[in-house]
Amino acid sequence: MSQERDPFSELQRSSRDVEEVRKGLERALAAHLPHGQGHTVHSIEGTSATGMSSETLLFDASWDDGDDRRRERLVARVAPFSNDVPVFPEYDLPGQFLTIQTVAALTDIPVPQAWWCEEDPSLIGSPFFVMGRVEGEVPSDIPPYSFGSGWLFEATDEQKARLQDSTVAVLAELHAIPEPEKHFSHLRADFPGDTALRRHVAGRRQWYEWAARDSGRSALIESAFDWLERHWPAHESPTVFCWGDSRIGNVMYRDFQPSAVLDWEMAGLAPGETDLAWLGYLHQMFEDMAVAYGFPHMPDFLRLEDLAATYERLAGRTPRDLDFYFVYAAIQLAIVYLRTGMRSVRFGEREAPADADELIMNADRLRALLGS
CA torsion, points 133, 137, 141, 144, in degrees to nearest 10? 170
Phi, psi dihedrals of residue 242, rounded to the nearest 5°:
-110, 135
Look up residue 142 and give its amino acid. I
The whole-number pLDDT of residue 177 equals 98
DSSP character for 303? -
Q: How confident is the model at residue 2 (pLDDT cuts 50, 70, 90)?
A: very low
For the segment 216-233, what is each residue's pLDDT rounded down to a tens digit? Answer: 999 999 999 999 999 999
The kind and range of the H/E element at 37 are: strand 37-46
Q: Are 81 and 65 in contact (CB under 8 A)?
A: no
- Mean residue pLDDT of the chain comes to 92
Taking phi first (over 0 means left), then psi (-120 to 50 degrees means alpha), and beta for anything else, what does residue 366 get? alpha
Q: Measured between alpha carbons, how far apart are the two ends of the chain, in Å?
A: 24
Percent of the chain whose pLDDT exceeds 70: 94
Report helix angle 363-370 to 322-346, nearest 10: 150
Closest by CA to 200, choosing from 247, 233, 167, is 233
Q: How confident is the model at residue 15 (pLDDT cuts 50, 70, 90)?
A: low
**Residue boundaries of the structural domains of the chain:** 18-132, 157-370
Phi, psi dihedrals of residue 342, rounded to the nearest 5°:
-70, -30
Q: Are strands 55-65 and 68-78 parallel, antiparallel or unpaired?
A: antiparallel
3-state percent helix, strand, coil for the chain, nearest multiple of 5: 45, 15, 40
Taking phi first (over 0 means left), then psi (-120 to 50 degrees means alpha), and beta for anything else, what does residue 211 get? alpha
**Which CATH architecture does the domain made up of 157-370 adopt?**
Alpha-Beta Complex (3.90)
For the segment 40-82, what is each residue's pLDDT rounded down to a tens digit? Answer: 998 888 765 444 567 899 999 999 987 788 999 999 999 988 8
The kind and range of the H/E element at 352 are: none
pTM to 2 decimal places: 0.92
Q: Mean per-residue pLDDT for 152-166?
A: 98
Greater confidence, 231 or 8?
A: 231
The rounded distance, in Å, linking the Cα atoms of 129 and 117 is: 4
How would you label 133-144 residue by residue, b for 16+ Cβ within 10 Å and e otherwise? bbebbbbbbbbb
Task: Confirm whether 18-132 and 157-370 share one CATH topology.
Answer: no
Q: How confident is the model at residue 4 (pLDDT cuts 50, 70, 90)?
A: very low
Phi, psi dihedrals of residue 320, rounded to the nearest 5°:
-120, 155
The rounded distance, in Å, linking the Cα atoms of 81 and 85 is: 7
For the segment 240-260, what is each residue's pLDDT rounded down to a tens digit? Answer: 999 999 999 999 999 999 999
The whole-number pLDDT of residue 19 equals 86
Q: In the CATH hierarchy, which top-level class contains the domain 18-132?
A: alpha beta
Establish whether 245 is a catalytic residue. yes
Catalytic residue, from 60, 64, 245, 355: name it: 245
The rounded distance, in Å, linking the Cα atoms of 49 and 295 is: 19
For the segment 274-320, what is each residue's pLDDT rounded down to a tens digit? Answer: 999 999 999 999 999 999 999 999 999 999 999 999 999 999 999 99
Bridge partners of 55? 78
Q: Mean per-residue pLDDT for 23-30?
A: 93
C-alpha distances (whole Å) from 325 to each of 154, 284, 315 are 30, 14, 18
